[in-house]
Structure 1
């Protein structure tokens, strides 16, 4: 009998988001303090929907770490497996919000605690006690976190725990961005479901560094050139069972070897802040997956979660509850399978 529904593994941070919506970054007068990091966001998103969730990340022995742990404890996220890393700093992010399409992002990750989680930390969490384990591609940018992710995926595979990979491409976190794809492709044979944007799928098969362009310091939304169909085929051939490609307001497309692609429509809304939408989708999708829903039905719920979050300024802080999500879904025609 599994004791917990979900273990998410990877980055966590304090996020300082502009209070001056629409202002150029140089004109920002103040910031709101939120929490973030893709795995943390996913943990909170799934937890607010009703799953029992634990997060494995690293925080420093500092007040910023206290800030993150306090938030997680209030959200009833299991923090037992989060080490305080001596001599390291809790990660930080600063974000400008310039709707509809500019969200400049600055990472502060020098000597960061979350990249220093180890295989021992994974062993202590005991992957086998969970129904699902979710890992982040960004957590493989440096050691020892890289080995921790590989070990967690291997443990999930060996213990028949489904592994969900959020491809999660952050170009500025890699010494050579082509190595991002090498790491992703190396773990795909033991991954059950991979989730990523079109750009992240292209990045996972990148051969030419000049095919990645970052404008307005939008690190989380680079432009990536390439052939999406060929990239999807390469990822499926690597061994992952299902690939879900996120397409913003258009929803997602589900790819599985031997099956025709399946489009799952989204929920077009007015956008305030796109950051966190993909994590909200993942939290919603994992909730449906744990309930035993079909992939398409779980994606429908995930799309609704993403649509709600893009209308709000924060990420983890603004993840929706199940009642909020179901209200949106009912207003737009119900949850179809």
Structure 2
């Protein structure tokens, strides 16, 4: 039996999230975040066993992130630290509808400096799923680390999962960003992608045609998320649509990561067997519920639901 259900690699950073202010001034509170970190915490909250491979600065923000993952049951044995670089920051602003925008401060940050020789490959090789994004491919050192880790996962027969999580303003070259998105999808058996990202990557408006244009022999599941409108899930032979849930949105930070974590937990729990539309629908429904619940609270990592919260939410619908 593997020690971990899911091991993630990638950015672990601080989200500076706006607080309500009666006088109109801009005030922010530090919240732990970063999509791969959110997924690791999300899996652990659902009862799974997870670990993360990344790097933080040896300062208050770095310690806060490591402490948060540890407190949520995520193994931090694969997190390196450095005194030479600082932990990355993302300043978040929200619209009146709770939609988020980010201003990133990642130039020369600690996690972008994770090198192949700092990888805890023993953790990776003792997992069932290795989850990646595309942002690590934007910097040469972290790109080398991620590619090395993916190769190790493939050599060990471990399922690769990917969320491209495209962030246009974090790339100097849009074409390089799209190439990175295609790269991680091309290596993955499990993919989550938003409808907007899917069009960006393929140039195809029809969702099914776009998904099939990216399909390859080792791909098993693709989920296309549509925010509050729900999601579609594709396998080689099936395709289902799941309606979203109407909730009072506080902010949308982490909603996609909650969906991803829940989908991975469900797939691992089902031993990756998803024959039949009813099983696909059940996975999609729980993942959509997780995303909806996350939208009702402030902050990404801390708002991720546990299994009981999802069960209770669905019982009332």
What is the alpha-carbon distance in structure 1 between the residues aligned to residue 205 and residue 34 of structure 2?
29
Cα shift readout 1:212-257 (whole Å, capped 9, x = no counterpart): xxxxxxxxxxxxxx52445323211586332210011221111234
Query: Structure 2 residue aligned with 1:275, among 253, 264, 271?
Result: 253
- 2:30 alignment partner, SS class: strand
Shift of 1:322: 1.0
Residue in structure 2 matched with residue 20 of structure 1 by the alignment: 20
The runs of 5 or more residues in structure 2 that have no matched partner are 275-279
Please report the TM-score for the alignment, with normalisation by the length of structure 1: 0.85
Question: CA 1:63–1:199 in 2, change beyond 3 Å: closer, same or farther?
Answer: same
Query: Is the CA contact (8 Å cut-off) linking 1:251 and 1:265 kept in structure 2?
Result: yes
Shift of 1:78: 0.6
Query: Is the CA contact (8 Å cut-off) linking 1:81 and 1:125 kept in structure 2?
Result: no
Query: Is the CA contact (8 Å cut-off) linking 1:59 and 1:82 kept in structure 2?
Result: yes
Query: Is the CA contact (8 Å cut-off) linking 1:287 and 1:298 kept in structure 2?
Result: no
What is the alpha-carbon distance in structure 1 between the residues aligned to residue 289 and residue 118 of structure 2?
34
Cα shift readout 1:231-287 (whole Å, capped 9, x = no counterpart): 323211586332210011221111234x24321222221211112100011111111
- Are 2:297 and 1:312 aligned? yes
Query: Is the CA contact (8 Å cut-off) linking 2:121 and 2:149 kept in structure 1?
Result: no
Query: Is the CA contact (8 Å cut-off) linking 2:58 and 2:81 kept in structure 1?
Result: yes
Residue in structure 1 matched with residue 230 of structure 2 by the alignment: 251
- 2:94 alignment partner, SS class: coil
What root-mean-square deviation, in Å, do the aligned CA atoms of Structure 1 and Structure 2 show?
2.1
Superposition misfits of 4+ residues, deviation over 4 angstroms = none
- Are 2:308 and 1:330 aligned? no
Residue in structure 2 matched with residue 178 of structure 1 by the alignment: 175
Cα shift readout 1:304-333 (whole Å, capped 9, x = no counterpart): 11010001111101111211111011111x
What is the alpha-carbon distance in structure 1 between the residues aligned to residue 133 and residue 187 of structure 2?
14
The runs of 5 or more residues in structure 1 that have no matched partner are 207-225, 333-337
Residue in structure 2 matched with residue 113 of structure 1 by the alignment: 110
Query: Is the CA contact (8 Å cut-off) linking 2:164 and 2:184 kept in structure 1?
Result: no
Query: Is the CA contact (8 Å cut-off) linking 1:8 and 1:40 kept in structure 2?
Result: yes
Question: CA 1:241–1:312 in 2, change beyond 3 Å: closer, same or farther?
Answer: same
Question: Mapping of 1:1-337 within 5 angstroms?
Answer: 1-20=1-20, 27-100=24-97, 102-205=99-202, 227-229=205-207, 230-237=209-216, 240-257=219-236, 259-292=237-270, 294=274, 295-332=280-317
What is the alpha-carbon distance in structure 1 between the residues aligned to residue 258 and residue 60 of structure 2?
27
Question: CA 1:244–1:62 in 2, change beyond 3 Å: closer, same or farther?
Answer: same
- 1:325 alignment partner, SS class: helix
- 1:58 alignment partner, SS class: strand
- 2:202 alignment partner, SS class: coil
Question: How many residues are aligned here?
Answer: 309
Please report the TM-score for the alignment, with normalisation by the length of structure 2: 0.90
What is the alpha-carbon distance in structure 1 between the residues aligned to residue 206 and residue 84 of structure 2?
42
